[in-house]
């Protein structure tokens, strides 16, 4: 029973770590902070080395897309780019999806980021919506 018990306890401990999203003791892997439209104009904190994920509603069928206008301090926060995620097959033509932007927290400091939802061509609608965030990297 001794060997079997030890294996069972080890499996239970690993399962607990996986399900809780925790890292094993001694691991210093920084986490991910996720925000959406409701965080616009606010401040978030993130650990150096972590990832900030910004998810914003978007509808590519209208010609609008989110544009990164500025990152206050690129030595603190670096854009990793954005991707458009189309909606699941809803059966509705022209249904909107979302854009997911990621940023890497490089070092301790404070940076802002600002984005605009625009039609990027000349004469297209500019800044139909805006998103801004202050990011404090610890």
CATH number of domain containing 102: 2.60.40.2020
Residue 7 within a domain: no
Token digits for 130?
Answer: 């805006």
Residue 18 within a domain: no
**Amino acid 131: pLDDT:** 98
Residue 57 within a domain: yes
Q: What does DSSP say about strands 77-85 and 42-46: parallel, antiparallel, or unpaired?
A: unpaired
Q: pLDDT tens string for the chain (138 positions)?
A: 455 544 444 434 444 433 334 433 333 457 999 999 999 999 999 999 999 999 999 998 899 999 999 999 999 999 999 999 988 766 666 778 999 999 999 999 999 999 999 999 999 999 999 999 999 999
In terms of pTM, does the model score above 0.85?
no
**Amino acid 2: pLDDT:** 52
Q: Is the dihedral of CA 18, 20, 26, 29 positive or negative?
A: positive
**Amino acid 88: pLDDT:** 76
Residue 13 within a domain: no
Residue 1 within a domain: no
From CA 32, how far away is CA 51, in angstroms rounded?
5
Nearest to 117 by CA among 132, 107, 136: 132
Beta partners for residue 2, in sequence order = none
């Amino acid at each position: 029973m001794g060997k079997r018990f030890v294996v069972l306890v080890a499996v239970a401990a690993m399962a607990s770590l996986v399900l809780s999203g925790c890292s094993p003791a001694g691991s210093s892997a920084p986490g991910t902070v996720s925000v959406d439209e409701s965080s616009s104009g606010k401040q978030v904190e993130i650990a150096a080395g972590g990832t900030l994920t910004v998810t914003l509603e978007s509808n590519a069928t209208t010609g609008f897309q989110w544009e990164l206008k500025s990152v206050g301090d690129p030595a603190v926060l670096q854009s990793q780019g954005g991707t458009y995620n189309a909606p699941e097959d809803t059966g509705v033509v022209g249904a909107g999806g979302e854009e997911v932007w990621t940023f890497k927290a490089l070092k301790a400091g404070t940076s802002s980021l600002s984005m605009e939802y625009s039609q990027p061509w000349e004469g297209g609608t500019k800044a139909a919506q805006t998103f801004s965030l202050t990011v404090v990297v610890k």
